[in-house]
Each structure stands twice: as C-alpha cells, then as structure tokens.
Amino acid sequence: MCGIVAYIGYRQAYPIVIKGLQRLEYRGYDSAGVALLNGELSVYKKAGKVADFTNYVSDKNLVGQVGMGHTRWATHGEPNDRNAHPHYSESKDLAIIHNGIIENYAAIKQELINSGHTFKSDTDTEVLIHLIEEIKHKTHVATEEAVRLALGEVIGAYAIVVLSKSEPNKMIAARKGSPIVVGIGKDEWFIASDATPIVEYTKNVAYLNDGEVATIDNGKLTVKTIDNETKIPFVQELELKLEAIEKGGYDHFMMKEIYEQPRSIWDSMRGRIDADKGRLRLGGISEFENKLINAKE
C-alpha cells in the first residue's frame, strides 16, 4: 500500500527519496509527492505514477538535504493532485506525509474550522497537521511535542513524518498500526515504511513501536511514547540483502504474495469498513451512490 521515505543528512535528499519511492511502487498507490527543506519548505505532488511525478517536477528546484516523499493510496478524498501528500499546515510552516487513517478527523476538522482554519484537501491527513500547528501555537511547545500531544487526541492508524520550515535540522516520525523504520547512517538518517529504501545506505535500523514518536534533531535520535515516556531506541543490524527484504523473508515472490493476502485485504479495507454500522464505504463511488441505487436492471 502507500509508502513513506524521508532523509536528513549531508547528501541531496531528492534522489534518495525518489529512488525509495520507486522501490515501494510494488505496493500500489494513486499519487506521489515530495517535500524539501531548502530555506523554503517546498511541496510538490501529483496524481499518477512516480514517473508522472518526476516529469512534473523536472523544471522545479529540487535542492535540499532534508526531504520526504509519499505514495498515497486514498482513503479520504479522491485520488487527485490536491489530495496527494504532503500536506501543509495552516501557516505552511509544517508539512506532513501519512499512511493510514484518522478516524475522528471530521470532529477535529470542524473545531479547527471554527477557530479559523481553512483546508485545501478532503483528506484526514491535512486535519492532523493543522491540529499539530494549532497545538504548537496554543501551547508554545516544540514541534515534536505538538506532534505527541496531537497524536494523543486522534483515533486511528498512522505512520507519519513531519517537517518544519522554522526547524530545518529536525525530522519527526511516529507510528501506530502502520510500520516505520529509522535507518541510522553516519551523520545521516533515513525514515521509511519498510527497510527496502534504506538497506543500500545503512544496515543499522530501529523499528518504532506502536505509539512512539521519534525525533532526529541536529544529528541526535530521541524516542518518546505518546504518553511522554522516553525510550531508548533498539538499534539492530539488518542481515538481509535487498532482494531478500523485498521477498519479505520468503524464498519466492509467489510465496510472499500468498502469505501476505490476509494483510493485503486488511490494508485494502482499512478506513473503508464501518463495523458498527455494518457499512462499507468506497470513497471513489460515493458520489454515484444514488445512481447505483436507482439503476434499472
């Protein structure tokens, strides 16, 4: 499903992020986007394949040693340019990429609209970054603290990465339900939704646990739980080669596909099943609901 790749270090981020997104393409997605920090916090995004995206940005400024990229598989809002990630906060100081769903986004969005926020997309993700900024402004805390406090208010599943224009040496990631791996190189750091984009740069990785927020700030990694408990990240060495990681520990891709079916079905239905009401919500066809109900046999 959707993919996340991010980089902070001494190299140019864009080529690493794009190569990583290409490695994650096998998961299936509907749009791609990148944010880069280079004095500005520039966001570029496009519906379609990573190749459509790279064509689209070919005349843009892609310089920057901090960047993050996302391939989206829409749950909230049509697959189009506007709903593609990354999403900016209200002031555009922050940007987010997100895998997963924020279940209580509608109530939070309404509160934020009442406080004067305006939204550019139909996604649950944009609501989360606006909430983070609202908390940051109200409580005067650092961005990672605002991320932690905001995640305490949301219900859902997520893997996120957040960048801030005013804190250009910092990258924040968090997870609940969707995986996040932090790759630790020499004076450089990688974040991804699985190890495939990272393994060619470093074998040292730390997998975040559910409910953890990781901050890389001026070359130092700290991990806290959403409940504000500091954790010592468990750094392990990846023993597998890239090909073996891509096969997910199975001898053949066919075995991987067979054994991943339950997970794939789970991921496909995530955010689309309302078990309490016994309803299935397929965003892409909701506007044709009446036509379908009234269709003649």
- Which residues 15-44 are close enough to bind ligand GLU by CB under 6 A? none
- Neighbouring residues of 257: CB distance < 8 A, sequence distance ≥ 6: none
- Beta strands 273-274 and 279-280 are antiparallel
Residue nearest to ligand GLU (CB): 2
Look-up: residue for tokens 């750094």? 235
Q: Are 212 and 225 in contact (CB under 8 A)?
A: yes
Does 46 contact ligand GLU by CB under 6 A?
no
Distance from C-alpha of 159 to C-alpha of 193, rounded to nearest angstrom = 8
Among 123, 143, 193, 202, binds ligand GLU (CB under 6 A): 123
**C-beta closer to ligand GLU: residue 43 or 184:** 43
Among 38, 65, 89, 99, binds ligand GLU (CB under 6 A): 99
Residue type, 11: R
Among 13, 16, 47, 74, binds ligand GLU (CB under 6 A): 74
Does 167 contact ligand GLU by CB under 6 A?
no
> Residue 261 CB, nearest distance to ligand GLU (Å)?
19
Does 124 contact ligand GLU by CB under 6 A?
yes
> Residue 248 CB, nearest distance to ligand GLU (Å)?
19
Looking at 13-21, 92-100, 194-202, 245-253, which segment touches ligand GLU (CB under 6 A)? 92-100
In degrees, rounded to 5, the angle at the alpha carbon of residue 72 between the alpha carbons of residues 7 and 13 is 15
Size of the site for ligand GLU (CB under 6 A): 15
Q: Are 29 and 73 in contact (CB under 8 A)?
A: yes
Phi, psi of 69, deg, nearest 5? -135, 155
> Residue 12 CB, nearest distance to ligand GLU (Å)?
25
Preceding amide of 86 cis, omega within 30: yes
Distance from C-alpha of 238 to C-alpha of 247, rounded to nearest angstrom = 14
Does 75 contact ligand GLU by CB under 6 A?
yes
Does 109 contact ligand GLU by CB under 6 A?
no
**C-beta closer to ligand GLU: residue 96 or 223:** 96
In degrees, rounded to 5, the angle at the alpha carbon of residue 43 between the alpha carbons of residues 1 and 217 is 85
Q: Are 226 and 196 in contact (CB under 8 A)?
A: no
Structure tokens at 189: 């750091």
> Residue 196 CB, nearest distance to ligand GLU (Å)?
17
Does 100 contact ligand GLU by CB under 6 A?
yes
Does 6 contact ligand GLU by CB under 6 A?
no
> Residue 48 CB, nearest distance to ligand GLU (Å)?
14
Q: Percent helix, strand and coil across the chain, each rounded to 5? A: 30, 30, 40
Among 38, 125, 143, 164, binds ligand GLU (CB under 6 A): 125
The residues of the shown chain that bind ligand GLU, judged by CB under 6 A, are 2, 72-77, 83, 98-101, 123-125
